[in-house]
Amino acid sequence: MNRLDWPDESKFSICLTHDVDRIDKKWWHCLYYFCKTGRLYHLRSIFNKGRINPYWNFEKIMQIEEKYGVRSTFFFLEEKKRFEVTNPSTFSITIGYYTLDDDRIIEVIENLVKYGWEIGLHGSYDSYKDENLLRKEKKRIEQVTGKKVLGVRQHYLNLLIPETWMLQKDAGFKYDSSFGLRSGVGWREMKTVPFKPFEDEDFLVIPLTIMDVALARVSKDIQDAWGKIEAILKYAERNGCVVTVLWHQRVFNENEFPGWSRLYEKIIAEGKKRNAWFATCRDVYEWWV
């Protein structure tokens, strides 16, 4: 497929996605961000229990995307890794996560599905190497959505290549969107469009291009971050690429992450200006395959 094949005579595609890692801000998150940024807001937020949870930004995301007539894919996580007191490396992976039994999560997923957003699985930390675990998690999220879930993105972008893709395919997934950079932005190995890791199969890899966390690591400020994004959009427009964007739902709180929700909206506005085809991961999969 070449750059002339996108729908509606579009020049390239932007695929919008969100990973839902945590939905509640805990006191240790407040301390961490205070130490990292020095902003007193984070200390004060420990005691503001009556205020809206700063991580619960689903309605805001939906409003932004509805404003531009676009939809995105939300990848929901159910982390089951056990907390180990003697193993500090497990602390950040196991503490503070939600379950798919949470009534708030069930309600928001049902609402997203009802109004045209796609739901995918955010595979738990160890699932990239455990087919049985992937199968269980797929079944769980399909019970909540009431629909077949086509896609997965592994937590922390954990991948064994090609072993993880084989496990995902055998577990019943049709696409993976974990192939991206943990540090830096752009296309890993310059894979600028989806590809089939197994030529004779209908399993697709949709590469990740811009992740908020990775972008923040390599940017001096919001203006610098936008410069990097704009360069990617220009390249994609010239070469018919897919730009897969990952913005975690927690960064849409402007008090917590100043400028980042506006940056996300700017990506959409600029993409519209440049005649991008906006698609969920499911849309990209169905068009490409």
Mean pLDDT computed over 27-55: 55
Q: What is the pLDDT of residues 12-29, one digit of tens each?
A: 999 999 999 988 865 444
Contact 32, 45 (CB under 8 A): no
Q: What share of the chain in percent tops pLDDT 70?
A: 83
Confidence of residue 85 (pLDDT cuts 50, 70, 90): very low
| Coil vs helix vs strand at 135 | helix
Instruction: Supply the pLDDT for residue 99.
Output: 87
Q: Which residues pair with 12 in a beta bridge?
A: 276
Catalogue the E-assigned strands of the chain. Answer: 12-20, 73-77, 118-123, 151-154, 175-176, 204-205, 210-211, 242-246, 276-279
**Res 1 pLDDT > 70:** no
Confidence tier at 96 by pLDDT (50, 70, 90) = low
Sign of the C-alpha dihedral computed for residues 211, 168, 61 and 190 taken in this order: positive
Which range, of 40-49, 185-194, 202-211, 258-267, averages the lowest pLDDT? 40-49
List beta partners, residue 14: 243, 278
pLDDT band at 4 (very low <50, low <70, confident <90, very high): low
- Among residues of the chain, what percentage have pLDDT more than 90? 75
Cα separation, 45 vs 251, in Å, equals 16
pLDDT digits (tens, 9 = 90+) for 155-209: 999 999 999 999 999 999 999 999 999 999 999 999 999 999 998 789 999 999 9
pLDDT for position 200: 78
d(CA 46, CA 24): 12
Superfamily of domain 3-25+55-288: Glycoside hydrolase/deacetylase (3.20.20.370)
The residues pairing with 121 across neighbouring beta strands, listed in sequence order, are 76, 152
Please give the residue that has the higher pLDDT: either 51 or 67. 67
Domain ranges for the chain: 3-25+55-288
